[in-house]
Chains A and B, each alone.
Chain A
Amino acid sequence: MSKNSHDSAHTHVAGTSEFVDDRPIMRGELFMDVVYSTHAHAKFTLDYSEALKDEDVVAVYTAADVHHNVWGTIFKDQPLIAKDVVQYAGEAVALVVAKTTVAAQYAKQKVKVNYQDLPAVLSINDAKKHNSYIADKRFIERGDIKSAFAKAKHTLSGEVVIQGHDHFYLESQVAIAYPLEDGQVEVHSSSQHPTETQHVVAHCLGLDAKDVVVQVKRMGGGFGGKESQAAPIAAMAALGAIKLNRPVRLCLTKDDDMVMTGKRNPFQNLYKVAFDDDGVIDGLEVELFSDGGAYADLSTSIMERAMLHSDNAYFIPNMKVAGQVCKTNHHPHTAFRGFGGPKGVATAEIIIEKIAHHLGLDPLEVRNKNVYRDEDGRNITHYNQIVKNNCLPKLFEKIEKDCHYKKRRSEITKFNQESDEFVKGLSITPVKFGISFTTRFLNQANAMVIIHLDSTLQIATGATEMGQGVNARICAMVTSEMGLERSHARVMPTRTDKNANTSPTAASSGTDLNGAAALLAVRKIKHRLSEFASLLLELPEARWPSKTAGLGTEAEIAIKTRNLDSNDPNEGADWKSGKATYFGVEFKDGVVTCKGRSINFPDLIREAYLSRVSLSDYAHYSIPGIEFNKLEGSGNAFLYFTQGVACSEVTLNRDTGEVKVDQVDILMDLGRPVNLDLDVGQVSGAFIQGMGWVTTENLVYNDQGYLLSHAPSTYKIPNIQDTPRVFNIELLENDENYANVRGTKAVGEPPLLLAISTWTAINNALTYLPTYKDSYPEVRIPATSENVLRAMAPQAFSKWSTP
């Protein structure tokens, strides 16, 4: 195993990594399934007498069985089980518990739900018509938008339609709840947010937090879909476990998971842009509308991030962004990698493309004209944060050269003149992704490090592992600080009885926050051990505690400074190695050295224990400098920005509209990676996931807002054959991110936004067709084959009056 391998890689490939549903079935364990609404909005009554007749069915629970039937991350507005009225197709109305999974699945078909339909809102347009909104409209404004438009040489306006996006984590939502003595419950959940899961379980069941432990060993993918929406699943399982005093397992099928859980919010964004002959933008007005679904979930925060990313990488002197979440009768939409970012950025990028098309310029030229630059004050965002450590111009310059943009542009132009079967497009888009939770209090973490007597370490943090390798990174940071191999430590399952009040593993912040906390914790131990080693190594071995402790003949080696107190993971650390040194003691390759004398690390641990030096510690970390006034829409929303650019080349089939992504070149600034290989894995995975969002992933609903494409047979995430034939990923060397732990940069979400280049490339290809000589295609997200063919040949479709 290479030093950069995922810490579970060897058990993943052997099939021995344990996921929740892999846990052995316990004696007496029962299986739960969820009966959910198939109507968008309706009063309902239930008849589950038939289900109870089945001898394998143990119980059916409804809203009446829930102690506090309400939960919600930001607003507590959602019932765990709907009572009397359902607000969306997929909303839980009853829980069936049976002796086997199969029995529960058949029993749930026997639960009769009688609906009395109520008017339903099933689109953003519907919501606007009925003033159906969640929370107030928010604004971010800078400059004088009116006068910008008044004096504008050119203006353009339009609407960007962006559909949703299913997470399609391979492991569907799942939880097992084990009742413990004295009314306690232990829940094993596939959750990005164990703390919230614990709180929701406790609240819904009327328990104290002290009586609920949530454990997350790992997830089979999360992508934001298990940030808030894992909690109700856990609470349902726990409800059964507490009521029946038997273990209860709730493992959703992929179909049910897709119908029940929320997606990336659909957006419909109106824009108006003012620019000059060179394509330099002077004014931009954007009005963002999102489909929040039936309950608030995280939609208001998602909207905020969309608003904060509507500039993407461009300095816009006069800008006004408005954001309104719509309340509809769809599943409550939720976090998904990038949060609101992709929806703001897609809007900005299509505006750039449209400006270029309008002026007959290459879109890359327009991007270069508008990109944030340190000169002339063109480095301040519309929310008044200075873009520090801005490498966007450098990224543009380098990718243009490296991917032979100009040459390929002229080849494509020639190709498009010659082919009647295919048309090609090329596009470069950037990303400048703000790193931090925009909600300040979430920017905190805690961690615990334990050194056992055999000198091996256990690390516990609030971070949850979902494939991104947060554990491998944290483990690497902690062990390298102590001069040990990574295999010397293990990151333990995330448990709320070890790390409480943690934030979700989200916003790309897992390593930033928890890595910093873990590093601070291990430094406390290191500080003590350093002082101890400096004293110990002055003594001859014969006087070491291991030789004398049992006798009591020597005075105990007493260290004076017991607690190091710091909130800065870079404090006292050598910038190059990332390691801190105390009392002149060096930890390297398993050996601890002071003034030329050495001791093996395990021996030091033994001596320290015998001298009653604490070998465990805990630390708390909070990100400094996050000062964003949400009401004014102004301030430092982010600690720093992760930046990158990507170039996509696509070929569209003119007979069918089919899209082939031929080549993708990605260039990113990820600071100084702790684990380059895992970072590259995040980049390629996020890009392909985003590519799916903008191309083949199509959520189709019926007229009750019931999702029809609820399985991989109908919902098409990218396949291995869709990976671009040429797929280059390069990282820019950047040693200058002093803001973050070890000079790293967060990587989880930003590369997903680079897939917007695939969408703009598709639109770019269409501009070569005669149809778009004077207009711009604006194919929506996703640009499915049908959407593309409709854009290519509107006249062929106009003959047929079907939807």
Chain B
Amino acid sequence: MRNQIVFYLNGKRHNVAGEQAGMMLADYLRYDQALTGTKVVCAEGDCGACSVLRYFPHVSGTDADNYIAINSCITPVATLDASSLLTVESLKDGDRLHEAQRSMVDSHGSQCGFCTPGFVMALTGLVEEKLSKKQKNISDKEAKNCLTGNLCRCTGYQAIIDAATKVDLKIEKTLKDRYYDKEQENALKEAYAKSVLVETPKFSFFAPKTMAEAVAYLDKNPDTRIIASSTDLGVVHNKRKIHLTKLLSLHLVDELYQISSTDKVRLGARVTMTEFRHFIKDKVPDIANYLDIFASPQIKNIATIVGNIANASPIGDTPPIFLALGANVLLHGKNGKRSLPMSEFFLDYRKTARASDEIITGLEFDLPGKNSSFKAFKNSNRKDLDISAMNMVIQVDWQDDQKEVVKEIRIAAGGIAATPLRLKKTEDTLRGQKIDQKLFEKICHDVHQEFTPLSDLRASSAYRRVLVENYLMRFFKQEVLA
């Protein structure tokens, strides 16, 4: 058992204990380490000004075997245990600017400069990936996708896109080569091998090596919060609405990083959105497309799918996906393990069927079959990186490849009720039926009896209702009526 958080920052080992472990990384950098290159604007993971790079070397064979960009403003230092971190101060090699920096200067990608370090770090993350894949250039689209999580108010972005595409990959070395040496590797491996407990009167953080330890700890300390990457809790903490004081993290539990698809797909609790996208992109492209406009790369690089489910927000973007896939939630508590259909998981506003001693260890689901249609819709005021006003995911398993008669259907929507919602009456009406214009008109009319959306700052109730109808219409138009 360790009693210190261990990580490497710009090549130097940091041991952190006590309340410092509960500081957000950005605050630790700026006010403790005088590394003020990292900026904080929103403190909620929506602007990317605080971007730093993180390498978590313990999960092998994945897409993220590199330094990748994360938000430092909503990430407590403790959750970065056993990681290697780099800030903007690490990029220059002596007097030489890193290519991501040089290109931003030469393309006029920086005006006031406040967002710039964040852009540079996010872009450097892409450079690392490109170099590791031995790719030679960066396209417009790749540049935009990598920088979706960064806001700039001065440039209008065009100069930044130009900068990204003009990075000369041929002359840059990876930061991994520059910083990640044998000493670091060994030290982080050693850290990862041992559970860690940081305990002070005002702050505690426990990260066990096994689920058994985790369950036992939670049973003894029921007021402990299970924390993954804090991409939601960190926001609420920063707004001073909750205080993150007693935390349980599963980041040292090996098995939770697994994603496997032998029979059913099993997705562990520590699988990030980025990992999941990588896994699913060829299997269900529509989910990958939907994930592309959801959240930022920095968030998706660290946030877990299970965290998004556990969070149980009525406008969470992944619950409707898994509801439509018919997924089960895997729970582990003091009385053992159980598997619960997700449709029975969400009970009320932010209330779930997880018992207080239980931990979600993963999800299990079947991929849509050959005779299935699957479509995910997400509406938000701004298309990319915006919390949904309303989302809807539909899976239809057709009787046969004629795609006329509905064998099974799951329609899940967010933003129209206190929980992510299955539209079960509509499903019942459609199940076993041949879809025609008349039936379609009936469900568009009847569906409204299943939910009562609120009006809030994102959308009016009426807008949400019209969207439900229009999405259903678009789905059936494309799949059947076309």
A5 within 8 A of B: yes
Q: Are A106 and B34 in contact (CB under 8 A)?
A: no
Q: Are B462 and A467 in contact (CB under 8 A)?
A: no
B94 within 8 A of A: no
- As a 0/1 sequence over residues 163 to 185 of chain A, the CB contacts with chain B under 8 angstroms (1 = contact) are 00001111110000000000000
Contact of B153 among A12, A221, A658, A696 (CB under 8 A): A221
A723 within 8 A of B: yes
B244 within 8 A of A: no
Q: Are B382 and A696 in contact (CB under 8 A)?
A: yes
Given A5-B108, A9-B110, A105-B240, CB of A14 within 8 Å of CB of B46 = no
Give chain A residues whose Cβ lies under 8 Å from the Cβ of B114.
19, 169-171, 220-221
Q: Are B471 and A655 in contact (CB under 8 A)?
A: yes
CB distance from A757 to the nearest CB of B (A): 15
Give chain B residues whose Cβ lies under 8 Å from the Cβ of A6.
108, 110-111, 113
Give chain A residues whose Cβ lies under 8 Å from the Cβ of B46.
711-713
Binds A, one of B1-9, B143-151, B185-193, B416-424: B143-151
Binds A, one of B85-93, B127-135, B252-260, B407-415: B85-93
| A660, B384: Cα distance in complex, Å | 12
Q: Are A15 and B87 in contact (CB under 8 A)?
A: yes
| A467, B116: Cα distance in complex, Å | 11
Q: Are A712 and B455 in contact (CB under 8 A)?
A: no
Give chain A residues whose Cβ lies under 8 Å from the Cβ of B112.
169-171, 218-222, 466-467
Q: Are A786 and B474 in contact (CB under 8 A)?
A: no
**Main SS of chain A's interface residues?**
loop
B65 within 8 A of A: no
The chain A residue sitting closest to B461, CB to CB, is A802
Q: Are B240 and A719 in contact (CB under 8 A)?
A: no
| A240, B102: Cα distance in complex, Å | 42
CB distance from A547 to the nearest CB of B (A): 38
Contact of A253 among B43, B113, B466 (CB under 8 A): B43
The chain B residue sitting closest to A170, CB to CB, is B114
Give chain A residues whose Cβ lies under 8 Å from the Cβ of B228.
none
B18 within 8 A of A: no
Give chain B residues whose Cβ lies under 8 Å from the Cβ of A686.
156
Give chain A residues whose Cβ lies under 8 Å from the Cβ of B404.
none
A700-721 residues at the B interface, CB under 8 angstroms: 700, 708-709, 711-714, 716-721
The chain A residue sitting closest to B36, CB to CB, is A22
Q: Are B148 and A172 in contact (CB under 8 A)?
A: no
B281 within 8 A of A: no
Q: Are B108 and A713 in contact (CB under 8 A)?
A: no
The chain B residue sitting closest to A468, CB to CB, is B111
CB distance from A707 to the nearest CB of B (A): 9
Q: Are B104 and A9 in contact (CB under 8 A)?
A: yes
Give chain B residues whose Cβ lies under 8 Å from the Cβ of A729.
158
Give chain A residues whose Cβ lies under 8 Å from the Cβ of B160.
720
| A717, B463: Cα distance in complex, Å | 21
Q: Are A170 and B39 in contact (CB under 8 A)?
A: yes
| A717, B385: Cα distance in complex, Å | 11
Q: Are A796 and B148 in contact (CB under 8 A)?
A: no
The chain B residue sitting closest to A10, CB to CB, is B105
The chain A residue sitting closest to B35, CB to CB, is A15
A785 within 8 A of B: yes
Q: Are B466 and A789 in contact (CB under 8 A)?
A: yes
Most B CB contacts (10 A, CB to CB) among A10, A12, A698, A800 go to A12
CB distance from B244 to the nearest CB of A (A): 12
Contact of B379 among A11, A167, A658, A718 (CB under 8 A): A658
| A719, B386: Cα distance in complex, Å | 10
A1-57 residues at the B interface, CB under 8 angstroms: 1-2, 4-6, 8-19, 21-22, 24-25
Give chain B residues whose Cβ lies under 8 Å from the Cβ of A22.
30, 36
Q: Are A688 and B157 in contact (CB under 8 A)?
A: yes
Give chain A residues whose Cβ lies under 8 Å from the Cβ of B467.
655-656
Contact of A1 among B100, B106, B240, B474 (CB under 8 A): B106
| A106, B239: Cα distance in complex, Å | 10
Given A170-B41, A170-B112, A698-B381, CB of A727 within 8 Å of CB of B240 = no
Q: Are A655 and B470 in contact (CB under 8 A)?
A: yes
A689 within 8 A of B: yes
Given A10-B97, A170-B153, CB of A802 within 8 Å of CB of B460 = yes
B444-482 residues at the A interface, CB under 8 angstroms: 455, 457-463, 465-467, 469-471, 473-474
Given A221-B114, A685-B155, A712-B46, CB of A789 within 8 Å of CB of B384 = no
In the assembled complex, 15 residue pairs joining A and B whose CB atoms fall closer than 8 Å, in A order, are A5-B108, A9-B110, A13-B97, A14-B88, A14-B101, A106-B240, A168-B153, A170-B39, A467-B113, A685-B111, A713-B46, A716-B381, A719-B148, A720-B152, A720-B160
Given contacts A12-B113, A14-B88, A802-B461, 20 further A-B contacts (CB under 8 A): A8-B110, A13-B88, A13-B104, A14-B37, A15-B35, A22-B36, A170-B114, A220-B113, A221-B154, A655-B473, A656-B467, A681-B156, A685-B111, A689-B153, A696-B381, A714-B457, A716-B380, A716-B382, A720-B157, A797-B466
